[in-house]
């Protein structure tokens, strides 16, 4: 389903995922009786397990995973479709109006340049819609799809972040609470996973990519300690699965089964899924909402206010300074190309003129020799006829 359409469902979670803890995230006043609105976006290369993790996080099949054939055919088209899935999750009479933005993968193409544009545009469009509604008198009916957290899926290559990951993460981090996750942790040995996470952390630090960190000020020491412990695990390694499997010691758990045993989603020795879920749902959902409101949306609003008047529409893409440089470069390249072609034509023209002159000369020579031959024939004919009596 595309961004135009939406899937909506109401789900009462059979097993608790932690949303009933929301009213206890006391530091904020947002936790109203009617529940909270929360929008989560997943981004990353195709096939890294984004859709599966969404279903694992909320313990329901919110989005049907694509079959492999579809994944293959998708590689033929260079588009990033954006799915909007809406669900009402209810737990102990507490409700979260959840919106999940599933972006079906990029990085499949030979040229991935600008593959992030639809994602960035989507984030900005939500801020724009919200801002325009704020300027209207009827504020009650506003729709709000500003993204509160963006999970960025890093493929478990074992090396380091790819240049494309760095590019996309940089751009996302200036607009949204970015939470990097290492996908499919079960495909790596614990030692390699540990090293990989360290390398990713280092690259993130060197490139100064701002990932979400819970604010540590004004919280009690226990919560601060919990937040620090969570952040020390960033990027969170995750395992996605919607299947219950039996472990060697007879427990039934959410996990992935292998001939050598079971990789457990909720086992902290296997991956950081529980920490990620805690950050997103149990302890920091309201921090994510507040940061979006006070930092990211405010940044957007101020930047827009500086460049246009109150109530004025968004700058058209072609007038956008982001595209100006590219446009100028294209124009320069075009002018150079035209100059080059013009030179080539001029040379060709000279060559044609010289050739025409040469042919004309040949023609003239041929013409005069014909004339001479005609004169000779004439004189021969007259001498053959002899003198008239
Ligand atoms: N080993 C392993 N496989 C996984 C994990 N999560 C998902 N998969 C498998 O990886 C494949 C792709 O999963 P999806 O969830 O469809 O991946 P996606 O990122 O949504 O893919 P696109 O929608 O194409 O971008 C499926 O066969 C999943 O069963 C995981 O944690 N470990
Ligand atoms: Mg998917």
Band (35; pLDDT cuts 50, 70, 90): low
- Per residue in 64-91, pLDDT (tens digit) is 555 544 544 443 333 347 888 888 877 6
Residue 103 has pLDDT above 80, yes or no: yes
CA of 103 to the centre of ligand 2 (A): 7
My answer on whether omega of the bond before 316 falls inside 30° of 0, hence cis, is: no
The superfamily (CATH) of domain 7-314 is P-loop containing nucleotide triphosphate hydrolases (3.40.50.300)
Q: Which two tokens stand for residue 343?
A: 């030179």
- Per residue in 208-255, pLDDT (tens digit) is 999 999 887 656 787 788 888 888 999 999 999 988 999 988 899 999
Residue 322 has pLDDT above 80, yes or no: no
Question: What is the spatial distance between Cα 280 and Cα 149, in angstroms, rounded to a whole number?
Answer: 8
Q: What pLDDT does residue 169 have? A: 95
Q: What pLDDT does residue 256 have? A: 95
- Closest by Cα among 222, 229, 115, 214 to 162: 115
- 8-state DSSP, 35: B
Q: What pLDDT does residue 19 have? A: 54
Of all atoms in ligand 1, which is nearest to the CA of residue 46?
A: 25
- Per residue in 123-181, pLDDT (tens digit) is 999 999 999 888 877 666 678 899 999 999 999 998 989 999 999 999 999 999 999 99
Q: What pLDDT does residue 76 have? A: 36
The larger pLDDT score, comparing residue 17 to residue 212, is at: 212
Band (26; pLDDT cuts 50, 70, 90): very low
CA of 55 to the centre of ligand 1 (A): 11
Question: What is the spatial distance between Cα 248 and Cα 260, in angstroms, rounded to a whole number?
Answer: 9
Q: How many CB atoms lie within 10 A of CB 168?
A: 23
Q: What is the pTM of this model?
A: 0.74
CA distances (Å), 141 to each of 88, 99, 372, in order?
18, 17, 101
Of all atoms in ligand 1, which is nearest to the CA of residue 52?
A: 15
**What is the rounded average pLDDT for all residues in the chain?**
82
Which ligand is closest in space to the CA of residue 185?
1
Of all atoms in ligand 1, which is nearest to the CA of residue 70?
A: 24
Residue minimizing CA distance to atom 12 of ligand 1? 47
How do strand 149-154 and strand 178-182 relate by DSSP bridges? parallel
Instruction: Tell me the percentage of the chain whose pLDDT exceeds 70.
Output: 77
Cβ 237 under 6 angstroms from ligand 1:
no
CA of 105 to the centre of ligand 2 (A): 7
Which ligand is closest in space to the CA of residue 45?
1
Angle at 278 between CA 275 and CA 284, to 5 degrees: 125
Question: What is the spatial distance between Cα 242 and Cα 256, in angstroms, rounded to a whole number?
Answer: 9
- 8-state DSSP, 106: B
Q: What are the boundaries of each domain within the chain?
A: 7-314, 316-389
Name the strand (E) or helix (H) holding 96: strand 94-102
């Amino acid at each position: 389903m595309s961004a135009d359409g939406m899937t909506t469902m109401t789900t009462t979670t059979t097993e608790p995922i932690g949303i009933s803890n929301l009213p206890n995230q006391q530091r904020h006043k947002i936790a109203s009786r009617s529940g909270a609105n929360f929008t989560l976006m997943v981004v990353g290369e195709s096939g890294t397990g984004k859709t599966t993790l969404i279903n694992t996080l909320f313990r329901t099949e919110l989005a049907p995973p694509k079959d492999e054939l579809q994944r293959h055919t998708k590689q033929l088209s260079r588009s990033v479709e954006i799915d909007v899935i809406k669900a009402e999750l209810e737990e102990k009479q507490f409700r979260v109006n959840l919106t999940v933005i599933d972006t079906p993968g990029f990085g499949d193409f030979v040229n991935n340049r600008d593959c992030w544009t639809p994602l960035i545009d989507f984030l900005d469009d939500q801020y724009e819609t919200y801002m325009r509604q704020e300027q209207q008198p009827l504020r009650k009916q506003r729709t709000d799809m500003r993204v509160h957290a963006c999970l960025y899926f890093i493929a478990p290559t074992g090396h380091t972040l790819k240049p494309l990951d760095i590019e996309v993460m940089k751009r996302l981090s200036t607009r949204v609470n970015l939470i990097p996750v290492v996908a499919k942790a079960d495909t790596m040995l614990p030692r390699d996973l540990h090293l990989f996470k360290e390398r990713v952390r280092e690259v993130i630090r060197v490139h100064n990519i701002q990932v979400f960190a819970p604010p540590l000020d004004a919280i009690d020491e226990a919560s601060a300690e919990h937040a620090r412990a969570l952040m020390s695990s960033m990027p969170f390694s995750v395992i996605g699965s919607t299947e219950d499997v039996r472990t060697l010691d007879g427990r039934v758990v959410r996990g992935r089964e292998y001939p050598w045993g079971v990789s457990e989603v909720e086992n902290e020795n296997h991956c950081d899924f529980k920490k990620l879920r805690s950050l997103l749902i149990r302890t920091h959902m309201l921090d994510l909402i507040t940061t979006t409101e006070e930092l990211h949306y405010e940044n957007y609003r101020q930047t827009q206010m500086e460049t246009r008047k109150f109530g004025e529409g968004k700058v058209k893409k072609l007038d956008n300074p982001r595209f100006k440089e590219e446009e100028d470069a294209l124009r320069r390249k075009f002018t150079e190309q035209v100059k080059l072609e013009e030179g080539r034509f001029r040379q060709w023209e000279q060559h044609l003129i010289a050739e025409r002159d040469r042919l004309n000369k040949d023609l003239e020579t041929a013409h005069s020799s014909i004339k001479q031959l005609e004169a000779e024939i004439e004189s021969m004919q007259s001498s053959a006829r002899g003198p008239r009596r």
